[in-house]
Amino acid sequence: MFKNMNPKEKISIHCKDIISELNLENLSEDEQVKMISEMSDVVYEKIILRVLDKLSIEDSVALTNLLNSEKPEESTAFLNEKIPDFEKIIDEEVTDFQEELIKFSK
């Protein structure tokens, strides 16, 4: 479903679900947007660190260059090519983050 979607966009969609699950819909829209952005950044960083660990040094440098050039389509294509379970990694990191937040909120 999300395979060709920019990872940051996919993560943001999941973070919106987390807002609902934590019953934070009563926050202002600005607060929700800020929270979604911050959560997305945390999850994205965890994903990138996990992915970099799986890549060769050359591929890590290539990915870093793509990320720095802000070419999300090329970065996504590269990750899908080099990391066969990239979508699974995204889902696992989002789920882990969500579980941590829920546990922490209790």
pLDDT computed for residue 6 by the predictor: 79
pLDDT tens readout for residues 57-78:
999 999 999 989 888 888 889 9
The full set of domain ranges for the chain reads 7-105
Cα 90 to chain center, whole Å? 6
> To the nearest whole number, what is the mean pLDDT of the chain?
88
pTM above 0.85, yes or no: no
